[in-house]
Structure 1
Amino acid sequence: MKKGIIITLLGGTFWGISGTMGQFLFQTYHLNTMWLTTMRMIFAGIILLATCFIKDTKKTLSIWENKNDVFQLVLFAILGLMFCQYSYMTAIYYSNSSTAAILQYLNPIFIMFYTCLVCKRLPYKKELLCVALAFGGTFILATHGNIHEMVLSFEGLFWGVLAGLAASFYSLLPRHIMNKYGSLIPTGYAMIIGGVVLGVIGRVWNISFSLDVYGYLGLVGIIVIGTVLAFSMYLIGVNLIGPMRASLIAAVEPLSATICMCLWLHSPFTLIDVLGFIMIMSTIFILSYKKKS
């Protein structure tokens, strides 16, 4: 249990740090979000798939034998991973790593709405409370309580909320293929597929960029630390302590992004931002709480 908690904490922390690395690259080198997301997805996917091929080549290739599985994989790659990664990085570009990470954790609210729709039921009382907290926290982050002035840019708010919606797609779409093939194989393929599609849409080969040693270190950090290691550690944590505990512990991501952003980039984060942070993050714990019989 202790080992699982520590590994999951590290995975969530690495996710938060990678967001701040992205903010550093945007602020210092003015990188294009589509280019950065494409590079992150393709190279992380290659590393993950290489690991899968070394472990079990036959199983890694078997996903292509079933048309329904291939369809779900492509759907997960584009609507899940590509949408999630691009909207999150764009939210960082227009705001900061902390705000983007917090708004991404609106995804339980979208999943809750989906569940109510599928089950044809009204939200429970605690779910309505979470909706109120989520809207209230988002409002505070965007306006600092002043309805006449937006502190957060419209683009930052828009892409942050989209990142939350995309994260819910990311959670719901691959359930069947991940149960069948494990998490690494579908994610590795989806990273490459989504990265290639995004690169073609954005024609990233025409995008010019200029990086020094620190820029390349930041790029490698996002790919290796913030994607490959973070995701692998989270999956190890799921195996050791279960998906519910792992998902709650991995919610350390916004906290690590905030601390890293303040200490490294010296970006401001006020007390009223903390209030919005707490309101949104509390929805995760409320929705996951179940009374013992």
Structure 2
Amino acid sequence: MNPQKNGEKSKMVTGTIVTIAGGILWGVSGVCGQYMFQNKGVTASWLVSVRLVVAGLLMLCYYFLTDREQTLAIWKSKRDRRDVIIYGLLGMLPCQYAYFQTIEWSNAGTATVIQYLGPALIVIWVCFRTKRMPTLQEITGVILAVIGVFLIATHGNPTSLALSGRALLMGLASAVSVAIYTLEPARLQKKYDTPLILAWGMTIGGVALTLISRPWTAKGIQADAEMFAALAFVIVFGTMAGFSLYMTGVKLIGSVKASLYACMEPVSSMILTVLWMKVNFTTPDLIGTLLVIATIIILAIPTKKNR
């Protein structure tokens, strides 16, 4: 057997597994966020500030203790400095804030599905950047994604919204930020460990949001054992582990495939939103969700050219 082919297959399998695992952790994390919004007086700006700063600093501490030289190397190059700051401020920060704000204004299942317009946007951007026409497969996927989000947003009636306008706009913003978040660090990932890039991105984005939202002034938060347990899951598993697994998947199998295989996020989020948060989804919601998931599956199927 060809060792090179075996190595590529192993790389693809590993990338797929870690991406799916990251997607599941993200889905659970979103529902934990909804739980804190509804029951513990937490706001999206507070949660995202704490989440990014704590997770980012913990990861940076690990790198400082294990490899201080590599930890600081990213700041020695002007281009690297620029890219990591852009990643933190335009990728990580809006990706997290828009997603959790959409959850606060709607629910975790809906927010996650709308966010999954991201893969369709990535396909459009890749076609534009490489100056090629989209394939029939890609066109079909994008159309299904748009129809799916349309059904979720309007329940099939274009004259009314089934969720608030601000929730829909913020959800669409989260989809755009997912595309930026996925594509922006590609060059940095060739030079530095993915978790290190994440650590700096989280810290930069978290500090920026903290200065704006000032979470220490928040009132009405019910800080009990349940709140801290949910917060710990969001930080450790939904942030540090989830993002590291996903971005490792991006490095192994590419941004397009990684964003598609992470479809376990809307699936796990939708299931938990129904079972744990007792949110009732209508038939248009479920059809819209299936169409978005179908988009991910269609775009993940390799074409003859790529087989």
Q: Same fold (TM over 0.5)?
A: yes
Equivalent positions of 1:1-293 (< 5 A) are: 7-208=18-219, 209-234=221-246, 242-243=253-254, 246-293=258-305
Q: For the aligned residues, what is the CA RMSD? A: 2.2
**2:191 aligns to what SS in structure 1?**
helix
Distance 1:179 1:90, change over 3 A: same
Letter in 2 for 1:109: A
Distance 1:8 1:118, change over 3 A: closer
Cα displacement (A) at 1:154: 1.0
Letter in 2 for 1:42: V
Q: How many residues are matched? A: 292
Letter in 2 for 1:291: T
What CA distance in whole angstroms lies between the structure 2 residues aligned with 1:175 and 1:246? Answer: 13
Q: Which residues of structure 1 form unaligned runs of 5+?
A: none
Letter in 2 for 1:95: S
Letter in 1 for 2:176: L
Cα displacement (A) at 1:246: 4.9
* 8 Å contact kept, 1:52–1:184: no
1:18-73 CA distance string (max 9 Å, x none): 00000001111232211111000001111222232343221111111111100111
Q: Which residues of structure 2 form unaligned runs of 5+?
A: 1-9
What CA distance in whole angstroms lies between the structure 2 residues aligned with 1:265 and 1:175? Answer: 36
Distance 1:230 1:268, change over 3 A: same
Letter in 2 for 1:32: T
Distance 1:289 1:6, change over 3 A: closer
**1:35 aligns to what SS in structure 2?**
helix
* 8 Å contact kept, 2:41–2:222: no
Distance 1:38 1:148, change over 3 A: same
1:160-201 CA distance string (max 9 Å, x none): 111000000101111111111021111101101110101112
What CA distance in whole angstroms lies between the structure 2 residues aligned with 1:171 and 1:8? Answer: 12
**2:281 aligns to what SS in structure 1?**
coil
What CA distance in whole angstroms lies between the structure 2 residues aligned with 1:237 and 1:75? Answer: 21
Distance 1:76 1:234, change over 3 A: closer
* More displaced stretch, 25-34 vs 184-193: 25-34
Cα displacement (A) at 1:114: 2.1
* 8 Å contact kept, 1:100–1:160: yes
* More displaced stretch, 170-179 vs 79-88: 170-179
What CA distance in whole angstroms lies between the structure 2 residues aligned with 1:52 and 1:285? Answer: 36
* 8 Å contact kept, 1:49–1:184: no
Percent same amino acid at aligned positions? 36
TM-score of the aligned structures, taking structure 2 as reference length: 0.87
**2:230 aligns to what SS in structure 1?**
helix
Cα displacement (A) at 1:278: 1.6
Letter in 2 for 1:251: C
**1:152 aligns to what SS in structure 2?**
coil
Distance 1:116 1:8, change over 3 A: closer
1:94-138 CA distance string (max 9 Å, x none): 111111111111112222332333334444333332232122111
